[in-house]
Amino acid sequence: MVPPGGTDCLAGTGAVCSTGGHNDLQVAPGVYRREFGACYDQGVLFGPCAAIVNTTGSPITISSAWLEQSYGHQITFSEGDAESGGSVNLTGSPFVPNSTTVGAQDATLLSP
């Protein structure tokens, strides 16, 4: 990801940056992907992971073309988020590219 750029986009005037930054992460209109080569759960490496964020008002199907690494699962949480005592399940739900969906205004985390 390169630094954001565009006329006055970092001037605090509300101008949206037209290049770099979040634009580098956009894989479809309103859909963003970020992949990481090394991800950890409570200090233990579990491999690569990815976040898919859907900012649109409709569900989207995750395209295999959006991902550079391979994933087999969606990370799920039970009993609340990790900060409030919940637990993380790195293999909580299956992930199938070109089939798994992300709801409107929602996100998912992927693991190997």
Query: Which pLDDT tens digit goes with each residue over 43-53?
Result: 999 999 999 99
Which pLDDT score, from 0 to 100, does residue 3 have?
65
Which pLDDT score, from 0 to 100, does residue 39 have?
97
Residues 7-24 have pLDDT tens digits of: 877 777 877 776 666 666
Taken in order of first residue, the domains within the chain and their CATH numbers are: 29-111 (2.60.40)
Residue with tokens 């649109």: 56
Per-residue pLDDT averaged across 40-69, rounded?
96
pTM of the model: 0.81
Rg value, the chain, Cα = 16
Backbone angles phi, psi at 107, to 5 degrees: -150, 165
Confidence of residue 35 (pLDDT cuts 50, 70, 90): very high
